[in-house]
Amino acid sequence: MSQRCSSSPPLLIRYLKQLLNSPGIPLPIFLHTSDNHYRTLARLITKHAWLYTEMIAAETLVHQQTNLDRFLAFSPQQHPIVLQLGGSNVENLAKAAKLSNAYGYDEINLNCGCPSPKVAGHGCFGVSLMLKPKLVGEAMSAIAANTDVPVTVKCRIGVDDHDSYDELCDFVYKVSTLSPTRHFIVHSRKALLGGISPADNRRIPPLKYEYYYALVRDFPDLEFTINGGITSVSKVNAALQEGAHGVMVGRAAYNNPWQMLGHVDTAVYGVPSSGLTRRQVLEQYQVYGDSVLGTHGNGRPNVRDLVKPLLNLFHSENGNSMWKRRADAAFKECRSVGSLLEESLRAIPDCVLDSPICETPESGEEDDVFANVQNVLPPRYEAGEQVILCA
Ligand SMILES: Cc1cc2nc3c(=O)[nH]c(=O)nc-3n(C[C@H](O)[C@H](O)[C@H](O)COP(=O)(O)O)c2cc1C
């Protein structure tokens, strides 16, 4: 399978086609997916969810111009797909956007939410950009000037003590006024830059969905996607019913891809699912996996790289632990994805492998988490030109 998106139609036509093909726009689910292999699996399970790349530093693209396929190539089936850039150097972000044009991404997003000290501490990457909205506005304008696709920002609701609703609004107001950015993906917890790990930064600061819904109220001309702690399709729909424009799902899509992604097309987009069983998904994935084995050089991707995205496919099913153990043991001997699956899938009962996703997603205990949110919104934001003047 070619990893390169070679014969793309012109960008605008492709984008319009996607809008027409995706019922219910704008209600995308964004799945943050860290690798091409995971995205390939995700796309076999849902045809409609938007897929995100892992953050790629603008500098990496600028310095690896002879090696761009390694970072930017994806198979055409992965559309709609969003490229996420990281960086704070306006010139490099502009160059990176330009370099990505040949690959045909559907949207370019700037990461203003990553709290990792590796990025936030050096060169003002990630979430520390929330403290520099004017720079973000300039960066977004430069990115937009070098691409034909929409540009978006992913951010948190604040950083350290800069966590008031008004400060969040000032950020959104300045960035959207100074650049063509019309869509923000909001991880609804602040980031703490004082040395806690990225994983703790996704767990310890409390979620404040009321900030997200207040943005929806106070910026009616902008679009906002809610992110953070959305763990089931029924919770996705609960967020949408409460007025969210879109929902981004992160960890739940890794931890339980079948239950999370399998219901997206029917329960969120209102179209039939692929109807595939997990056996059929794995058969198709195996063809992909064995075709890309070793193609990046130095034996990568290897069987382990390619099977890793599959390991949670049988979350909480009979035989799950046994399948993981067998797969782990088989990594050492098996030279192909096909042989590894043949060896390890014997642990999973046929009834699990051969049943398509069930009609209705289970409702979760926390689906009413948004029920009271409209009663606890912060006071309305009053923006004005003075915000821009002080930027
Ligand atoms: C392993 C891992 C890697 C992540 N990498 C990125 C990244 O590159 N860019 C980004 O914007 N967010 C990244 N995130 C954050 C997620 O996109 C999301 O904002 C966060 O996990 C909260 O959503 P969730 O509760 O649905 O997981 C990452 C999360 C995890 C668990």
The reply to whether CATH 3.20.20.70 applies to domain 11-274+373-389 is yes
ipTM: 0.99
Does the beta carbon of 250 lie inside 6 Å of ligand 1? yes
Compare 134 and 387 and report the one with higher pLDDT: 134
The pLDDT of residue 9 is above 90: no
Q: Tens of pLDDT along 169-216?
A: 999 999 999 999 999 999 999 999 988 999 999 999 999 999 999 999
Q: Report CA(247)–ligand 1 centroid distance (Å).
A: 13
Residue 189: CB within 6 Å of ligand 1? no
Predicted confidence band at 123 (pLDDT cuts at 50, 70, 90)? low
Q: Is 230 in the pocket of ligand 1 (CB under 6 A)?
A: yes
**Which residues are designated catalytic?**
114
pTM, entire model: 0.91
For the CA of 113, the nearest atom of ligand 1: 11
How does the average pLDDT of the chain come out, rounded? 89
Q: Please work out whether the CB of residue 245 comes within 6 Å of at least one atom of ligand 1.
A: no
User: Which residues lie closer than 8 Å to 351 by C-beta, 6 or more apart?
Assistant: none
Residue nearest to atom 6 of ligand 1 (CA): 54
Q: Is 187 in the pocket of ligand 1 (CB under 6 A)?
A: yes
Domain ranges of the chain: 11-274+373-389, 278-353
State how far the Cα of 266 lies from the Cα of 278, in Å rounded to an integer: 17
C-alpha 214 – ligand 1 centre gap (Å): 23
Number of DSSP helices (H) and strands (E) in the chain, helices first: 19, 9
Highest mean pLDDT: which of 33-37, 114-118, 277-281? 277-281
> Which pLDDT score is estimated for 71?
94
Burial track 338-358 (b if 16+ CB lie within 10 A, e otherwise): bebbeebbebbeeebbeeebe
